[in-house]
Structure 1
Amino acid sequence: MNSFDDAFEALIGSEGGYSFHPADPGGETMWGVTARVARGYGYAGAMKDLPLDLAKRIAKQKYWDPLHLDEFDPRVAFQIFDANYNGGLVVLWMQKASGAKEDGKFGPDTVDAVKAADPMRFVLRFIAYRLRYLKGLHAWPTFSRGWTERMATNLLLGAA
């Protein structure tokens, strides 16, 4: 994996297509994009019809670019991107996994620490913090199987 395009393709493999599960706090989604986010990007159609190319544009603008993911090792960038797309305390996990000051604020110090971190160590630590977070969510009993599979896939991708 070495680009946004590769990362997006891997991400969509976990996200799938249309979903509207009553226990999902994200509500109705297509390609992992919530209706609220899609509407914020001007999409007015049925969520089931959200074009993949729009989901990809949203992913790049909202979840990839703001965290400067092009600057990182591709394995690291994918983990951050996947978590940012899926939700959670991404900046804090970046800081904890890289040894940066843990203040939850994204900036140059966080970028530098992530760049300096050993990619494999970062991936393992980042996924560990993410799993702890997911396990603490009220939706864990409902979605634990899928989230666990997603994390296993991410570990395999991180080791590639």
Structure 2
Amino acid sequence: MTIDDLIEAVIAREGGYVDDPADRGGATRWGITEKVARQRGYAGAMRTFPRDEAVAIYRRLYWLRPRFDAVAARAPALAAELFDTGVNMGPAVAGGFLQRALNALNRGARDYPDIARDGAIGPATLAALDGFLARRGAAGEAVLVKAVEALQGARYLDLAETRPANEVFLYGWLANRIGS
């Protein structure tokens, strides 16, 4: 899938305008929160937030800035998962999930050194990903996707347990975000 395909899938899943009082994210349109839209200079009503601005935000803030495009050059399915997780939880959280998985899968730093879990996809994270893929091949990419999804699912459960208002979202998060 291309980034255009990934963005289209997110927009289709997120839908149009939503303002659920139980959602701390507040008003959203096309999955973009009002806070993010305002930070990017949008001053209008969220009900009329333009789709093309949402597409530009997804590309810039959730693909290029976190360097998921660099991951895609190595492991496209993993990059797609990181993008989706980043849209829902923040790109730094998604990057941190990848770093945590890479550290746990490096066989005691025999395959490549441990990396900082700072959520930023930089040279060290990409080198670790390269080392992992060189060792594990194409099957390794699928394992990394599963690891990121497992961490994502665990975070959803934590969110529901620590804030009971989130329980109304848990089923949908697990049904629509894990393995999709």
**Shorter-chain TM-score: which interval?**
0.7 to 0.9
CA distance in 1, matches of 2:88, 2:58: 11
Q: Bigger shift: 73-82 or 96-105?
A: 96-105
1:92-139 alpha-carbon deviations (Å, 9 max, x no partner): 101122235252242211122234442101110000001101111124
Aligned residues: 153
Give the whole-Å Cα distance in 2 for the aligned partners of 1:86 and 1:126: 13
Of structures 1 and 2, the one with the larger relative CO (CA 8 A, separation 6+) is 1
What CA distance in whole angstroms lies between the structure 1 residues aligned with 2:15 and 2:129?
Answer: 29
Cα 1:8–1:105 shift into 2, 3 Å: closer
Please list every run of 5 or more consecutive structure 1 residues that lacks an aligned counterpart in the other structure: none
Secondary structure, counterpart of 2:65 in structure 1:
helix
Aligned match of 1:143: 169
Q: Partner residue of 1:113? A: 128
**Structure 2 residue 83 is the aligned partner of structure 1 residue 81:** yes
2:105 paired with 1:103: no
Q: Distance in 1 between matches of 2:17 and 2:175?
A: 19
Change in CA separation of 1:67 and 1:114 when aligned onto 2, cut-off 3 Å: farther
CA contact (8 A) 2:18 2:27 kept: yes
Flag the structure with larger Rg: 2
- Identify the residue that residue 130 of structure 1 maps to in structure 2: 152
Quote the Cα distance in structure 1 between the aligned partners of 2:146 and 2:26.
30
User: In the TM superposition, what is the alpha-carbon distance from 1:82 to its structure 2 partner?
Assistant: 1.0
Q: Which blocks of at least 5 consecutive residues in structure 2 are unaligned? A: 104-113, 134-139
In structure 1, what is the Cα distance between the partners aligned to 2:50 and 2:124?
A: 36
Root-mean-square deviation (Å): 1.7
1:146 maps to a residue whose letter is G
Q: TM-score, normalised by structure 2?
A: 0.78
Q: Normalising by the residue count of structure 1, what TM-score does the alignment of the two structures yield?
A: 0.87
